[in-house]
Amino acid sequence: MKIFLAQQNYHIGNFEANAIKIIKAIEQAKKEEADLVLFSELCICGYPPRDFLEFEDFINECYKTIDIIKEHADTIGVLIGSPARNSLKAGKDLFNAAYLLYEKEIKAEIHKTLLPTYDVFDENRYFEPAFEWKCIEFKGKKLAVTICEDIWNLGDNPLYRVTPMEILIKEQPDVMLNLSASPYNYAADVVRRSIMKAHTLKYGLPMLYCNTVGSQTEVVFDGGSLIYDINGNLVKEMKYFQEDYAIFDLEILSEQKKQTSQITNSADLAEAVTINKDTGINKDDVFLSSEKESTWEGKYYYSASEVGRDMDTLKYLTDDKNIQEIHDALVLGIRDYFTKMGFTMATLGASGGIDSAVVQALAVEALGKENVHVLLMPSEYSSSHSVSDAEKLCLNLGNRYNIIPIKDVYQGFLSTLKPIFKDLPFSVAEENIQSRVRGNLLMAVANKFGYILLNTSNKSELATGYGTLYGDMAGGLSVLGDLYKMQVYALARYINIKQEIIPRNILEKAPSAELRPNQKDSDSLPDYEILDRLLFQYIELRQGPKEIIAQGFDPTLVKRVLRLVNMNEYKRNQFCPIIRVSSKAFGVGRRLPIVAKYLS
């Protein structure tokens, strides 16, 4: 049996475009004489559809689209993902389903069992878990079909009570097929590979895992579909951040090899496991097996929150491979946000600082220089090199820009507020007025010409509240909101790897908001090398103050920083969508109460 994998970029709710794309892949699979074509989770409607699932019309469109596609599933089997109605009154009204289409009919319907509710996921809100499990018989083969999370219930502390493959394996299937919509973070590829390998070695079956690709607002799907043979060998890792297609012969994937067929202990298994040493994973701890007990024990895989735990934080965060992936994810995130929303032009404020420089460079790469407009808005506190550095970057990138000094507008605000402010000393109020003036000018230009404002705040700033609501926190999309400051510097160096695009002075000068004379970020915040390490422990790894202090951080600093993080939840709650690249991004994946006392 030949199986064709279609790793595609879908548009949520765009049923016509999704159907055209799926049908095109089916026709390509036919030309390559495939017997079966495998798509990704909820490919019919796009993932995640969220509350669209509550609309009956949305579900009707899903079924209409399946009817259109099944006409093309005449001589070839097609495995697609779509919502399915629950015929029972008890429970949720929908299943997250996989359909086997063949001979222009629906031959089988498989329901997802494990419905994640952590991080960006909220599937239990909409779907009922499967209550029966069976393999699909197709062209003389038994297919163990699972959907995304169904294969993630591993380890010594599983999240769910049921593991679908434990039931399906009793039917002696020939292959495992998984339809997935697994989001990107810079630990995801390591985690996925360990899970796929664990399954092939545990169940003695080849696995074909088809992941979606593309960005859906803040969530980026990176593709990277995986094919493992029966011996636990990685046969193919499909392209990242791009659509990709490939065909595989099940008979070849199922060939047993003597050198890996008799793995009976953890030492032998560890020898067969290959994992990138740079991830900080100890390969001897990845899998443990006990053939005598007919059970698998210990740690099957590392979760995203564990990868990098035992490494130097900054080394991990700024690892060359991670930064390259982050670059590609952000470019895709910007491009898909504009394309899928029907936007063309972006604007942003260029301060001559590292954050706006990186956003500007990424925007030009994603949208083209002709579609990026920049405003330079110097104040009386701006240094001369801030303007010249920003101008030089615009010239290097070739995008349009305008210079609008804000001194007169700013002084107008101060004059208007004089009767209320009286002679009170200069404070953060006056600083923030400058930021809000810039935000107003940017939004005025955006409204006038139909641009979308890209926000330039980074994760270190958002975490500590070092930003101005309705000022530099304005925007339609946050590009760097999931990158710590040191990652922004690493990303700038990556952008400059072939030639100097971002002027060297921007990388070398001390970061400053330039809202008062001789201001530096370090006046208000710890050095970013220290701050980012501390924030990563608290936000990504969810370490408490005692654990963080035990790592050598100053107790007073820890108390201060954690208090800043928790007190500023109200600011982040009003922030724009953030392109997610970490395992714990601000936004839908991190839900904390605003009115709370914990550590504040």
| pLDDT, position 154 | 83
Q: Rounded CA gap, 147 and 164, in Å?
A: 10
Is 250 within the bounds of a domain? yes
What pLDDT does 175 receive?
A: 98
Catalytic annotation on 112?
yes
Same domain, 38 and 184: yes
pLDDT band at 515, cuts 50/70/90?
A: low
Contact predicate 101/73, CB 8 Å: yes
Rounded Cα distance between 99 and 97, Å, is: 6
Binding site membership for ATP: which residues?
349-356, 456
Number of domains in the chain: 2
Give the residue numbers spanning the domain of 149: 2-297
Query: What is the separation of C-alpha 172 from the centre of its chain, rounded to a whole number of angstroms?
Result: 35
pTM summary value: 0.91
DSSP 53-83: GG-HHHHHHHHHHHHHHHTT-SSSEEEEEEE
Check: CB of residue 331 under 8 Å from CB of residue 366: yes
Residues flagged as binding site:
118, 182, 349-356, 432, 456, 461, 571
Is the pLDDT assigned to residue 38 strictly greater than 60? yes
Q: What confidence category does residue 296 fall into, taking pLDDT thresholds of 50, 70 and 90? A: very low
The DSSP secondary-structure symbol of 213 reads: E
Mean pLDDT of 174-183: 98
Among residues 45, 148, 210, 394, the one annotated as catalytic is 148
- Band of pLDDT at residue 283, cut at 50, 70 and 90: very low
Does the pLDDT of residue 103 top 60, yes or no? yes
- At 241, give phi and psi (nearest 5°): 60, 20
| 565 occurs within a structural domain | no
- Final residue before a domain boundary, out of 500, 522, 544: 522
Active site residue 148: yes
Catalytic residue among 21, 41, 70, 340: 41
Going by the annotation, the residues of the binding site for deamido-NAD(+) are 432, 461, 571
Predicted local distance difference test score (pLDDT) of residue 303:
53
CATH of the domain at 326: 3.40.50.620
Residues 288 and 328 in one domain: no
Residue 161 lies in a domain: yes
CA distances from 329 to 186, 220, 336, 385, 442 (A): 10, 7, 10, 31, 26
Catalytic residue among 21, 70, 112, 197: 112
Least confident of 189-198, 205-214, 364-373, 575-584: 189-198
In a domain, 46, yes or no: yes
Domain boundary among 297, 327, 348: 297
* HSE-CB for 527 with a 13 A CA cutoff: 4
Which of 244, 265, 297 corresponds to the end of one domain? 297
Which of 488, 485, 481 minimizes the C-alpha distance to 577?
481
